[in-house]
């Protein structure tokens, strides 16, 4: 465990140093950005829409139960969506889709000696494999958190109009009373931070992958578990930090 943490620290330090060293592989980075953002968009939009609808319906049900009134639901739900739901759900989905894919891809390259072949050519696997994915996931995390939040809010507004009887205008009025642009900015910062964690963790497990199908499977599972836990812990830390700015 200590050795793994120590290796992770060394690897992360090398990765962040490599981030500022040429050559910058813009073509690879854009390809990865397309994979991370565009190809992940349908599943993220689909899932966060339902999460938002469930949130607003549950909030309404419990508020009615406790205080016999759900007039604060648009505001509370919007706050919850912007600060937590949109970014955390989209990042966890990104972990399972992109993180698992990266760990399996890099892990397969490791066990089939493709990583060694890169080293033989004097190419640093961190610069070649990790950096384009790191940049793509960080930028993709910001973009996806923005889109996920907007979609969540739209779905929440839609369901509150259809199911709870609030007009769009009253939903937006309720929302404005509770949320500010800061919430959206902080959500995007969180998205970027979570996006950074995913490729770093996934490529770490991929590059340490042991041979065989079992090794690749283990690397994939470990990367998803560790990245998910890291996102949840980081969410707490960032929420605590941001609470000082409200």
Partner 1 sequence: MASAQLALNDVSIGFGDGVLLSKVNLSVMPGECVVLVGPSGKGKTVLLKLFAGLLKPTLGQVQIEDKDLNQLAPHEQKQLLLKMGMLFQKNALFDSLSVGENIAFPLREKTKLSEAEIQERVVYFLEQVGIGHARLLYPDEISGGMQKRLGIARALALKPQIVLYDDPTAGLDPITSRLIVDLILRLRAENKSTVIAVTNDMVRAYQMADRIAMVVDGEIVITGNKAQTLAHQDPRVVQFVRGQLHGPLTESQ
Contact set with partner 1 (CB under 8 A): 112-114, 116-117, 119-123
Q: Can you give the length of the chain in residues? A: 246
Phi and psi at residue 162, to the nearest 5°: -75, -40
The least CB distance from residue 58 to partner 1, in Å, is: 44
Do residues 91 and 228 make contact, with C-beta atoms less than 8 angstroms apart?
Answer: no
Torsion sign, CA atoms 112, 116, 122, 126: positive
The least CB distance from residue 116 to partner 1, in Å, is: 5
d(CA 92, CA 61): 26
Which of 48/130 has CB closer to partner 1? 130
The least CB distance from residue 128 to partner 1, in Å, is: 9
Which of 118/189 has CB closer to partner 1? 118
Do residues 32 and 136 make contact, with C-beta atoms less than 8 angstroms apart?
Answer: yes
The least CB distance from residue 12 to partner 1, in Å, is: 19
- On the CB side of 170, CA atoms within 13 Å amount to 10
Query: Would you give the DSSP letter of residue 161?
Result: I
Report angle CA 140, 205, 119 to the nearest 5 degrees: 95
Which of 66/121 has CB closer to partner 1? 121
Which of 123/150 has CB closer to partner 1? 123
The SS3 call for residue 116 is: helix
The least CB distance from residue 118 to partner 1, in Å, is: 9
Which of 5/120 has CB closer to partner 1? 120
Output the CA torsion 180→72→239→233 (10° steps): -140
The least CB distance from residue 123 to partner 1, in Å, is: 6
Which of 7/58 has CB closer to partner 1? 7
């Amino acid at each position: 465990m200590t050795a793994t943490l120590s290796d992770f620290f060394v690897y992360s330090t090398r990765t962040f140093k490599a981030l500022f060293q040429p050559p910058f592989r813009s073509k690879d980075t854009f390809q990865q950005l397309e994979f991370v953002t565009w190809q992940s968009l349908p599943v993220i939009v689909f899932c966060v829409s339902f999460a938002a609808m469930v949130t607003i319906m549950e909030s309404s049900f419990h508020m009615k139960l406790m205080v016999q009134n759900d007039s604060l639901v648009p505001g509370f739900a919007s706050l919850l969506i912007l600060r937590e739901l949109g970014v955390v759900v989209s990042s966890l989905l990104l972990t399972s889709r992109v993180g698992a894919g990266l760990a399996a891809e890099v892990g397969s390259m490791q066990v089939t000696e493709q990583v060694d072949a890169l080293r033989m050519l004097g190419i640093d696997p961190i610069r070649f494999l990790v950096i384009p994915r790191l940049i793509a996931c960080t930028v993709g995390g910001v973009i996806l958190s923005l889109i996920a939040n907007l979609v969540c809010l739209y779905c929440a507004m839609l369901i509150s109009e259809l199911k709870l009887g609030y007009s769009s205008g009253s939903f937006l009025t309720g929302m404005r009373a509770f949320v500010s642009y800061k919430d959206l900015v902080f959500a995007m910062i969180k998205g970027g931070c979570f996006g950074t964690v995913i490729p770093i963790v996934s490529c770490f497990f991929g590059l340490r992958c042991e041979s065989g199908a079992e090794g690749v499977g283990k690397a994939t599972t470990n990367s998803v578990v560790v990245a998910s836990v890291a996102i949840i812990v980081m969410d707490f830390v960032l929420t605590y930090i941001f609470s000082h700015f409200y």
